[in-house]
Amino acid sequence: MHALVTRGTPGLELVEIPEPETPPGHVKVRVLRAGICGTDLHIDAWDAWAQSAVQPGVTVGHEFCGEIVEIGEGVTDFAVGQLMSGEGHVVCGHCRNCRAGRRHLCIRTSNLGVQRDGCFAELVVIPASNVWVHPGVTAASATEQQLDVFGIYDPFGNAVHTALKFPVIGEDVLVTGAGPIGLMAAMVARHAGARHIVITDLAQARLELARSLGFRALDPREEDLAAVQRELGMTEGFDVALEMSGAPAALVGIIENLNFGGRMAMLGLPSAPIELDFGKVVSHMLTIQGIYGREMFETWYAMAAMAQTGLDVSPVITDRFAFSDWERAFDRARAGSAGKVILDFTR
């Protein structure tokens, strides 16, 4: 089968590798869609993080959906032919957090496409405990749009985990970063009952996409957030902030614009050390909560329920490329002006 692997140097390589075995407790999946993530771009660049975290020769990719084609010994809850999405964090099941039901905090997490072979391949094998089945739909009956969205349930889950970390009903929400996950987080907050939602970014193409989705979106270098608050009739600052960019200036701006007692959920990984006014954090009684991945599997139930009640995140998917055209897909994702870029394994 064909797989996209890293050789421990800049650039990925599409190679022919043997079809994987299906160990006990695992399922084999025919990949139908896969999303390109920032993690994949880091591995492609073979930057300092990739060199420290990734084993050369691994098949990359961790966001995907597919059809179960083989069941390993001992698997009783799933069947060949089911359409599924994959949870990319494989946990040990034995550490304190796993045993307490906090699997997203497992201290021995092994990541699909990083420490173990991932989904940028025709077939992928994952533990049955990492399977999320989509009931009532098969690979044959699913629409193109359904497959596209099922292929990004991993980052959709990041957005849900971040947006729902704090109550947002009736609250004013600031989202910093209009990338695909930031846009999905804003859509989740709106679906969950937020009042005003403002999105910031530096890329005009992403701001335009945010505006096309009905959000107030701005470049903070060109518009003042305090003025926007006055424009919207906000007199006390934002109640909740979702930091999705990793930009140091964004975090500083959030601190300046949160209400007393404001809360921030922080998914973006900082690109550089950040100097914060912790005096304001203390005196304004601000809460800063780091977010990593998805709560397994509470977040999955939440996003499935929202999808069933009308939340459609498909507009954040702006580009779809055939798997064989992966180089162009990576170029598009790397440019930073697209929404979500996905690979289609069916053509």
Helix (H) or strand (E) holding 282: helix 278-283
Cα separation of 163 and 267, whole Å?
10
Catalytic site includes residue 134: no
The rounded distance, in Å, linking the Cα atoms of 165 and 168 is 9
Cα(67)–Cα(131) distance, integer angstroms: 11
The C-alpha atoms of residue 279 and residue 285 are separated, in whole angstroms, by 10
Strands, sheet with 173-176, edge to edge from the N-terminal-most edge strand: 216-218, 197-200, 173-176, 238-243, 258-266, 287-290
Collapsed DSSP state (helix, strand, coil) of residue 240: strand
Active-site hit among 42, 284, 287, 318: 42
| Catalytic (active site) residue 287 | no
Of the residues 22, 39, 109, 200, only one is catalytic, namely: 39
Q: How far apart are CA 50 and CA 267, in angstroms?
A: 19
Pairing of strands 258-266, 287-290: parallel
Active site residues: 39, 42
